Each structure stands twice: as C-alpha cells, then as structure tokens.
Amino acid sequence: MRYVSTLIVVSDIKKSKEFYHDVLGLDVIADFGANVTLTGNISLQTLETWKNFINKDTSDIIIKNNACELYFEEDDMDKFIKKLDTLENIEYVHRLFEHRWGQRVVRFYDLDKHIIEVGENMVNVVKRFFKQGLSEDEIATRMDVPIDYIKSCLE
C-alpha cells in the first residue's frame, strides 16, 4: 500500500483551482471535472459529488473546522509574505510569526476555510541563524535538534 494524496472538498472547483495556483503555485495534473489533482498530491473534489460518495447531506459537511491543515514549506518567506500582502481576500488564521525553534510561519484559509500553513524551509532557518552569527551548537540548542542535523543543513 502507498499513500497517494490528500483530498479536500470545495464548493467552487474553478475558483479553488485558481486560488491554489495563484497563491501557492500549484498546477493541475489531472482535471476530471468534479475531481482535480494538483501538484503536491492534493486533490480537489466538489461538495456535490463528495456528499454523494459518503452518503451525507450538505449539512453534515463541516466547513472551517480548524482541525487540520495543508502544510507547505517556502524557501523565501519574505518574498511569499509580500506576495500574500498583494492578494485580496486572504483570511488569516494568523499572520507571520516565529515559533520558539525559529521557524517563521503564516496560516490562512483557502476559499472553503481549509487551513493552509506555509512555513519557512527548516534548512533555511538553520542558515539564517548561522548568518546571524550563531554557532552550530547554539543553533542546535536554539532549535532543539541534534547537532548532526545542523551540520547536514550547513553542508
């Protein structure tokens, strides 16, 4: 057995394809009308077909449940945040902040209130700390990771 993709239910598949392309740069791999596969192993399924697949009423489909997220990593967080700031109608869960281990993240909702997290690539976090003058040991302590991980990121 192998994992294939994450499927999320959307109310407007055309707008959702545009959102995921324009905001996150995902492209359509396969488009079957009611089901679309995007790069990154994400599939979009229309609400109408999904409720029939699982034999539920529309009222049984819970939107904005804040119980899961799609997680992405970005190499250039500053550039991505500037891009987000130019887009209209982005509803934030929270704006950019830095976790205690140093990774910068932003969370926002897609058009159907699925949470999207975009986090700074962890290798870039290590390199950012190194450029700021922290030693490998200090970075490992700051990030609470093994020193071997830090060394592998700096190679």
Q: In what order do the strands lie in the sheet with 115-120?
A: 69-74, 115-120, 104-109, 91-98
Rounded to the nearest 10 degrees, the angle between the axes of helix 122-131 and helix 136-143 is 130
- pLDDT score of 2: 95
Tens-place pLDDT, residues 84-126: 999 988 999 999 999 999 999 999 999 999 999 999 999 999 9
- pLDDT score of 63: 86
The whole-model pTM stands at: 0.91
Query: How would residue 79 be classed by pLDDT, with cut points 50, 70 and 90?
Result: very high
Fold of 1-56: 2,3-Dihydroxybiphenyl 1,2-Dioxygenase; domain 1 (3.10.180)
Tell me: pLDDT of 145 over 90.
yes
Tell me: pLDDT of 39 over 90.
yes
Cα dist. 50→3, 7, 9, 57, 99 in Å?
20, 10, 7, 10, 36
- pLDDT score of 126: 97
